[in-house]
Amino acid sequence: MTQPAAATKPPATPRRLDPEDAQHALAEVQERLRRQQLVEVLVHRQEQGDSKASLVEDLVHRQHEAELKTLVDALHPADIAFILESLPKDERQSVWHLVSPEHDADVLLEVEDWVRESLIETMDRQDLVAATGSMDADELADLAPDLPPDVVAEVQKGLTEEERAQLLEAMGYPEDSVGAIMDFEMVRVREDVTLEVVLRYLRRLHELPDHTDQIFVVDRQDKLLGILPLSRLLVSEPETDVSTVMSTDFLTLNPLDSDADAAGAFERYDLVSAPVMDDQGRLIGRVTIADVVDVMREDSQEQALSRAGMQEEDIFAPVAMALRNRAPWLLFNLCTAATASFVASRFEDTVSHIVILAFLMSIVAGIGGNSGNQTMTMIIRALAMGRITGRNLWQLVKREMLVTLLVGLCGSLVAALFAWAISDSIAIAIVMMASMICNMLVGTSFGVMVPMLRARFGKDPAIGSSVLLTFATDSLGFFIFLGLATIFLL
């Protein structure tokens, strides 16, 4: 008697990771929204009260909504978040209403804060409760500041005592701390059991928490005794006790540690996860590489914006909001530019006698700014990584000055040849050379001093740094160049 053939599963269709997929999806969404708007405009041009025109508009609108919904439902929540962040507010809300409810929670966690606020504004209380009711305590803590208090209270009713305690604990930590990003889902075992018992316990779990590369060994008071890497668990004999193969040499974090310090530790030691312990040595959570990547990305964005004196904003935010964000440092920049122009105006006689100086002084200021910007970028990164201390600061300053001097000597020779070529004056070439070296040293000095002073007073060293540097190199660059020209050329 022949056995029936076993049913074969269809071949898997792996999804290739392509960063351009989200961009293609965004282009499709924008195109469909454009078509929908175009049809609405054409229909509205028909005579008012035309029932046939209204019917056509309604049918076309429903068709486009169905196509958009089909397109959006097929996307990963991260891609949906990317699309929502790339649309103006009205279009963003139109697409958001088409997202399936089961994706709401994941999308809210993926989008930037400034987009999340606008999405939550359009959701009613029932939808918010449904979207956040399935979140873990650490995820809910991330969203809690943006949620209405009554929604948070309603969601808390559906949590267990342990989950409610975890939520309150996570919400109590500072925003940029390890406690604010730690995860409460982890696997814990006792040291007096065998690896076979551990394996049986793991098989009973529905699935392992994300990024689980190690199991934490604790006592009955949840004090962390060691870690059991999964790789060691799989290759060791099942009859071996956990205490025999566990490692007691591991890195731990405190919930009040800076998340930037935690990110540095992950980068330095190539970690996938790290336990978080309180002051009594009890295991209270863990930080994973996924959390750290988010911290690194946010810090990188903040630094890029801070150097221009900006804060994160919706790229489609109202004009008034954008003005409040950008105007203060732009006005300050205007004052610094006016100061540089005032310095140059004090040498009007010099420039009027030697007109070529007006064309050369911008080179001196620009090169000084670029030199200082190189130093400032390196200092800000070193401060972020914690590599600058009181012991190595002066050594770093001397090194930067020496490097700038050597680079300045080479660059100033080229600038001097250029000045001599267009002015046919050796004296102007020498003044150009000396001015460039001096202003590059000024730029390097301010490139070190500005971020160090801001960090010393507890301020973000990147905020407005480029504006302050430009002020110094422009004003002092004009003063040095025109001052030397006044002394040696007149």
Which fold does the domain 188-306 belong to in CATH? CBS-domain (3.10.580)
* Of 354, 320, 324, the residue nearest 486 (C-alpha): 354
Is 319-489 assigned to CATH 1.10.357.20? yes
Which tokens hold the place of 369?
């700014």
In three-state form (DSSP H/G/I as H, E/B as E, the rest C), the secondary structure along the chain is: CCCCCCCCCCCCCCCCCCCHHHHHHHHHHHHHHHHHHHHHHHHHCCCCCCHHHHHHHHHHHHHHHHHHHHHHHCCCHHHHHHHHHCCCHHHHHHHHCCCCHHHHHHHHHHCCHHHHHHHHHCCCHHHHHHHHCCCCHHHHHHHHHHCCHHHHHHHHHCCCHHHHHHHHHHHCCCCCEHHHHCECCCCEECCCCEHHHHHHHHHHCCCCCCCCCEEEEECCCCEEEEEEEHHHHHHCCCCCEHHHHCECCCCCECCCCEHHHHHHHHHHHCCCEEEEECCCCEEEEEEEHHHHHHHHHHHHHHHHHHCCCCCCCCCCCCHHHHHHHHHHHHHHHHHHHHHHHHHHHCCHHHHHHCCCHHHHHHHHHHHHHHHHHHHHHHHHHHHHHCCCCCCCHHHHHHHHHHHHHHHHHHHHHHHHHHHHHHHCCHHHHHHHHHHHHHHHHHHHHHHHHHHHHHHHCCCCCCCCHHHHHHHHHHHHHHHHHHHHHHHHHC
pLDDT category at 4 given cuts 50, 70, 90 is very low
Indicate whether 237 pLDDT > 50. yes
pLDDT in tens, 406-447: 999 999 999 999 999 998 899 999 999 999 999 999 999 999
Question: Of 53-62, 89-98, 109-118, 382-391, which range is least confident?
Answer: 53-62
pLDDT category at 316 given cuts 50, 70, 90 is low
Domain boundaries, the chain: 21-175, 188-306, 319-489
Is residue 238 within 8 A of residue 194, CB to CB? The reply is: yes
Is residue 64 within 8 A of residue 35, CB to CB? The reply is: yes
The residue that leads in pLDDT, 339 or 313, is 339
Asked, colleague to colleague, whether 188-306 and 319-489 share their fold, the answer is: no
Distances (CA, A) of 173 to 153, 177, 354, 420: 19, 7, 63, 63
Indicate whether 224 pLDDT > 80. yes
Q: What is the pLDDT of residue 41?
A: 67
Question: Of 91-100, 284-293, 320-329, which range is least confident?
Answer: 320-329
* Of 184, 270, 189, 282, the residue nearest 233 (C-alpha): 189
pLDDT category at 309 given cuts 50, 70, 90 is low
Indicate whether 255 pLDDT > 50. yes
**Percent of the residues in the chain that have a pLDDT greater than 90, as a whole number:** 36
What mean pLDDT, rounded, does the chain reach? Answer: 84
Q: What is the pLDDT of residue 310?
A: 64
pLDDT category at 219 given cuts 50, 70, 90 is very high
Q: What is the pLDDT of residue 53?
A: 56
* Of 132, 172, 182, the residue nearest 153 (C-alpha): 132
pLDDT in tens, 353-371: 899 998 899 899 999 989 8
Distance CA(69)–CA(30), nearest Å, equals 13
User: 1.25.60.10, 3.40.50.920, 3.40.50.720, 3.40.50.2300: which CATH number matches 21-175?
Assistant: 1.25.60.10
Q: What is the pLDDT of residue 2?
A: 43
CA angle 159, 163, 167 (to 5 degrees): 105
